[in-house]
Amino acid sequence: MKETGHTDTALEVRDLTRAFGVRKALDGVSFDLPRRAFLSVFGPNGAGKTTLIKVLTTLLNPTSGTARVLGLDVVDDAVEMRQRIGLISHNPLLYPDLTAEENLLFFAEMYGIDRPAGRVNELLEAVELDHRRLDLTRTFSRGMLQRLSIARALLHRPEVLFLDEPYSGLDPHAMDILDGLIAQVRNDHTFVMISHDLDKGLELCSHALILARGKVVLFEPREAIDEGAFRATYRSTVGMGVS
């Protein structure tokens, strides 16, 4: 394993560009994020938020520029990096024809988790789905799927958690569970969350970033943010109302 403990930076992004044909979804994005920070990423649809997360989670290769997560390069050290990151998306990322338990045990095998049954039990209890462990996930409600998705993402105890609109489609109970789980691991994890909800994003974050047309419009630590000015910048820059 690479020596990455010496750096106190969780994310180092330099001139990151990702193009699809002639269209640049990310255009020269640069920022640094310290460890144990919570970054909220805002921007309108098509701003490049999901592409940014996909590049940072190794799902897409950058066209140019570099990105390092925990000191590991997203291209050269991808396999090692994936062991240390997790993603909660608005998509559940679960197999509908496997049971809740089978889904978690499958991913536990993929991550090489020791004593997977114990870890799976612990997480199913944490997301209050232990009573549905033997049910196929295609029978689950949206909220239940999202809760199980949270368990899947936390299975291997990732150090950096990427959240792509994690509250989307959640019922209030599922939102409370997600809030509780984030609060539990908040102090020793780094978070990167995409959100359309300015209130929620600003409430949780230690840093905020606004993306528009693939470029960074604003990147500031929370304490430097004047909320009124931030909302005005968000509205004027991206040309849309605040949710």
Partner 1 sequence: MASASGRQFRAILRKDIVMELRTKEMLMSMGLYALLTMVVYFVALSQAGSEFDPRTIAAGLLWLAFIFTSLLGLNRSLVHEKDQGCLEALLLSPVDRPVIFFAKVVGNLTFLLIVEALTIPVFAFLFLQGHALESGAFSLVPLVMVAGSIGISGIGTLLATMSVNTSGKDFVLAMLFIPLVYPLLLGAVTATNAAIVGGPDAMMVFWQGMAWVAGYDVVMLLASYGLYEFIVGA
Residues that bind partner 1 (CB under 8 A): 57-61, 79-80, 82-83, 85-87, 89, 91-98, 102, 106-107, 109-112, 145, 152
**Smallest distance, Å, CB 40 to partner 1?**
21
**Smallest distance, Å, CB 156 to partner 1?**
8
CA-CA distances (angstroms) from residue 136 to 81, 87, 95, 166, 237?
A: 30, 22, 9, 22, 45
Of 77 and 238, the one with the shorter C-beta distance to partner 1 is: 77
Of 109 and 122, the one with the shorter C-beta distance to partner 1 is: 109
Of 110 and 183, the one with the shorter C-beta distance to partner 1 is: 110
Distance CA(217)–CA(222), nearest Å, equals 15
**Smallest distance, Å, CB 118 to partner 1?**
18
**Smallest distance, Å, CB 54 to partner 1?**
8
**Smallest distance, Å, CB 96 to partner 1?**
6
Helix, strand, or coil (residue 163): strand
Of 54 and 222, the one with the shorter C-beta distance to partner 1 is: 54
**Smallest distance, Å, CB 61 to partner 1?**
4
CB-CB contact of 47 with 212 (8 Å): yes
**Smallest distance, Å, CB 112 to partner 1?**
6
Of 109 and 176, the one with the shorter C-beta distance to partner 1 is: 109
Distance CA(199)–CA(24), nearest Å, equals 29
Torsion region of 214: left, alpha or beta (phi above 0 gives left; psi -120 to 50 gives alpha):
left
**Whose structure tokens read 């959640």?**
170
Of 98 and 240, the one with the shorter C-beta distance to partner 1 is: 98
Of 79 and 224, the one with the shorter C-beta distance to partner 1 is: 79
Buried b (16+ CB within 10 A) or exposed e, 183-207: eeeeeebbbbbbbbbbebbbebbbb
Instruction: Give 49-61 as a DSSP string.
Output: HHHHHHHHTTSS-
User: What residues does 69 pair with on adjacent strands?
Assistant: 11, 72
Angle ∠(186,86,173) on CA atoms, nearest 5: 60
Instruction: Supply the DSSP symbol for 12.
Output: E
